[in-house]
A and B are shown apart, each in its own frame.
Chain A
């Protein structure tokens, strides 16, 4: 069975500062990893995904994440925070090419961006 742990339910940064949202996973087989963003009363939007190609994955809105197998981590970063980045972020894992429909999500991290 797979699982995801997001460290820190709330992260606060100043506008222009580095954003770092932490995600550690547990999986008995090579995982597929995703980061999603959710704005209030909205669904989830995919930011980026790791599917065993490049370990450094670039996504939308300037976000990127690095897959580190030795640390079982997939942390999300952005060099410079923008006010519009304030939202809730979810890390998710799924296993197997036929299991796109069943992902296990972390508890989420709420990002606050201060002016």
Chain B
């Protein structure tokens, strides 16, 4: 079974630009979550999508948005990039089945975004 795939792996953008990151979950997983990892703030939850709907949201400004497609692939968009948005963005997929024991999240390798 293929793992979680994130593209691209590395990205350099200029302040003020926008960026779109992509995540393909494990086949059969319908939940996709996004996290931002920085040395100063650690791992912070951005949002979770399930069945094309945002189910949970972290404390990030509206510049951070996402969506999920019918095939469960997800994209994350950051508009008007700031220097502080430089981070490793991690995507995780899980099966999220109601009534079952909580399942773990499987992480992709991340997209390293550098804003200059």
Interface size on A, residues (CB 8 A): 27
Bound state CA distance, A105 and B98, in angstroms? Answer: 23
* 8 Å CB contact of A100 from B43, B94, B99, B107: B94
Contacting pair B42 A108 (CB below 8 A) = yes
B90 touches A101 (CB 8 A): no
From A40-48, A64-72, A79-87, give the one contacting chain B.
A40-48
Closest to A90 in B: B43
Size category of the B interface is 20 to 34
**B101 near A97: Cβ-Cβ < 8 Å:** yes
25 CB contacts below 8 A, A to B, read A41-B109, A41-B110, A42-B110, A43-B90, A43-B109, A43-B110, A94-B102, A97-B98, A97-B100, A97-B102, A99-B56, A100-B94, A100-B103, A100-B105, A101-B32, A101-B105, A102-B33, A102-B48, A102-B56, A103-B33, A103-B45, A104-B45, A105-B42, A106-B42, A108-B42
